[in-house]
Chains A and B, each alone.
Chain A
């Protein structure tokens, strides 16, 4: 089946606008945040225009409708991820909050129990050098609070995890392994199931940062083998302000709460409280309701767009990009240079032109990319580069846009006199 990208593009109003003096927008920054289809924008407008009310606590018709829309989104997200049921989906504001939720719940467990999630001196948390800051800093903080030791997988020269260290890193002291499913810089897709099997054999929990993989339909939590999976809505055609944590129901039952407040309780006394069953135990206060509805619409949109066909289309864009970029003198692609086993974010450096200058020249031509360390500073350090330029593709991008990228990079080289 061929993927009709022209039809898909019509769903995204922003792709019709021009930038920087009337040039068409070439949006290659979807790994940063994706654009939103009309269907998502309309669903959110419709919620505010027709159904807006607070959820779970308003005893009127609008309250019922709003609750149904919010909980309906949870069901959609659960099905999209292959969860056993929707009670395994906790809404958060983004993936950073989802990861922090786990880190702070484990922190609370360290003083209040249960011991299964408690950490202390002698325990170890294992991460990787490939992680986004949001899957590094919460674990640094947790190890500082509990005295647990933070350890990490290094990288191979071609930008994959160095699994030869696995036997040493994952051992009986390991309490948690946190790893990204797909690197936001390198595009590398990590063998999470293999890592999870080792971690489980050692009795450790496994958390997966799936911010870059869920948008491309690469997630089935039932087959992945992880215990906790976080992702964010805005990278998958949904709005900002909504993300989620998936975890097996029995884990959510046992994990102590993170944020305390309204709606996460069962009973409240002046000196203690009991908590609602999951997922509501982790959703304190009024949640981003319209955003959850928008995320539900995004899930509907992606499902209807056919993510299998979209993935094939994105792999074609990626293959074309890897080919076109590797023909440019002085350009170094960070990470795997073959499309296989790799997602569609491509980071690179251009000899003699700083990434910010590359992106400025691209922006001048209407091509939107990201420059910097992409919230993965340790990864850049490990690769021996200070920063990079990243182009990332999604279902609405075209081969012509990949060519516009390559042309723009050559223009940057010319402008700065290095080619």
Chain B
């Protein structure tokens, strides 16, 4: 029985009691991503805050991430963990977490390079051993990355 290595208790907790779920206002960008192999989908909104804060050196922060998703336990839990990790973080730091998560998903058996950055997301290391499920874990993260890039574009006046 290897199930527990994938379905860590933290993952099941997030699946049963997802954090920051539901679509909220205000937001700067909304995206809809689909996993074409299974039909899982997520609508995700990102709000960025551009207000310069001295301690952040004026860098934009992720003010809110809200989402509405249909999918398996892995994709749901992953989106939930994502919101915990990135909300309130400067964009560059959130992007680092996202990059670390992507690295973790492609690490197979080697595990995370950087436990510190990933926080609760390290529990997804077991998912990396099942290639068919990696896309499930990445669905929310890819949507978040896309939405954040668009939100920053809006912020910088490149869009709208």
A364 close to B70 (CB less than 8 A): no
Q: How many residues of A contact B (CB 8 A)?
A: 19
B51 within 8 A of A: no
Q: How many residues of B contact A (CB 8 A)?
A: 20
B136 within 8 A of A: yes
Complex partner residue of A415 from B7, B40, B133, CB under 8 angstroms: B7
- B72 vs chain A, min Cβ distance (A): 4
A361 within 8 A of B: yes
B39 within 8 A of A: yes
- B156 vs chain A, min Cβ distance (A): 36
- B77 vs chain A, min Cβ distance (A): 11
A354 close to B72 (CB less than 8 A): yes
B2 close to A20 (CB less than 8 A): yes
A181 within 8 A of B: no
Closest to A23 in B: B1
Q: What are 22 sample pairs from A and B whose C-beta atoms fall under 8 A apart?
A: A20-B2, A21-B2, A354-B72, A354-B73, A355-B38, A355-B72, A356-B38, A356-B71, A356-B72, A357-B72, A357-B73, A360-B130, A361-B3, A364-B1, A373-B38, A377-B39, A386-B39, A386-B41, A386-B70, A415-B7, A416-B12, A416-B73
Complex partner residue of A356 from B12, B16, B133, CB under 8 angstroms: B133
Closest to B2 in A: A364
In the bound assembly, the distance between CA atoms of A26 and B92 in angstroms comes to: 47
A371 close to B38 (CB less than 8 A): yes
- Quick one: which of A360, A364, A371, A373 has the most chain B CB within 10 A? A360
- Quick one: which of B2, B3, B130 has the most chain A CB within 10 A? B3
Q: Which B residues, 42 to 80, have Cβ-Cβ distances below 8 Å to chain A? A: 70-74
Contact A386/B40 with A355-B72, A357-B73, A415-B7 known, Cβ cut-off 8 Å: yes
A360 close to B38 (CB less than 8 A): no
In the bound assembly, the distance between CA atoms of A21 and B3 in angstroms comes to: 12
Closest to B37 in A: A372
Q: Kindly supply a per-residue 1/0 record for chain A positions 384-400, scoring 1 wherever the CB is within 8 Å of any chain B CB and 0 otherwise.
A: 00110000000000000
Q: Kindly supply a per-residue 1/0 record for chain A positions 357-373, scoring 1 wherever the CB is within 8 Å of any chain B CB and 0 otherwise.
A: 10011001000000111
B6 within 8 A of A: yes
Q: Which B residues, 88 to 121, have Cβ-Cβ distances below 8 Å to chain A? A: none
- A4 vs chain B, min Cβ distance (A): 34
In the bound assembly, the distance between CA atoms of A247 and B72 in angstroms comes to: 43
User: Which residues on A sit within 8 Å (CB–CB) of B12?
Assistant: 416
User: Which residues on A sit within 8 Å (CB–CB) of B38?
Assistant: 355-356, 371-373, 387
A380 within 8 A of B: yes
In the bound assembly, the distance between CA atoms of A354 and B40 in angstroms comes to: 10
- A315 vs chain B, min Cβ distance (A): 30
Using CB atoms and an 8 Å cutoff, list the residues of chain A in contact with chain B: 20-21, 354-357, 360-361, 364, 371-373, 377, 380, 386-387, 415-417
In the bound assembly, the distance between CA atoms of A220 and B76 in angstroms comes to: 47
User: Which residues on A sit within 8 Å (CB–CB) of B2?
Assistant: 20-21, 364
- A362 vs chain B, min Cβ distance (A): 11
User: Which residues on B sit within 8 Å (CB–CB) of A417?
Assistant: 16
B39 close to A387 (CB less than 8 A): yes
- Quick one: which of B39, B41, B133 has the most chain A CB within 10 A? B39
User: Which residues on A sit within 8 Å (CB–CB) of B16?
Assistant: 417
- B9 vs chain A, min Cβ distance (A): 12
In the bound assembly, the distance between CA atoms of A357 and B2 in angstroms comes to: 13
In the bound assembly, the distance between CA atoms of A371 and B35 in angstroms comes to: 13
User: Which residues on A sit within 8 Å (CB–CB) of B6?
Assistant: 360
User: Which residues on A sit within 8 Å (CB–CB) of B136?
Assistant: 356
User: Which residues on B sit within 8 Å (CB–CB) of A355?
Assistant: 38, 72
In the bound assembly, the distance between CA atoms of A1 and B64 in angstroms comes to: 68
User: Which residues on B sit within 8 Å (CB–CB) of A371?
Assistant: 38
Known: A21-B1, A372-B39, A377-B39. 20 other contacts (CB 8 A): A354-B71, A354-B73, A355-B38, A355-B72, A356-B40, A356-B74, A356-B136, A357-B74, A360-B3, A360-B133, A364-B1, A364-B3, A373-B39, A386-B40, A387-B38, A387-B39, A415-B3, A415-B7, A416-B12, A416-B73
In the bound assembly, the distance between CA atoms of A417 and B9 in angstroms comes to: 12
In the bound assembly, the distance between CA atoms of A20 and B37 in angstroms comes to: 23
Q: Kindly supply a per-residue 1/0 record for chain B positions 1-43, scoring 1 wherever the CB is within 8 Å of any chain A CB and 0 otherwise.
A: 1110011000010001000000000000000000001111100
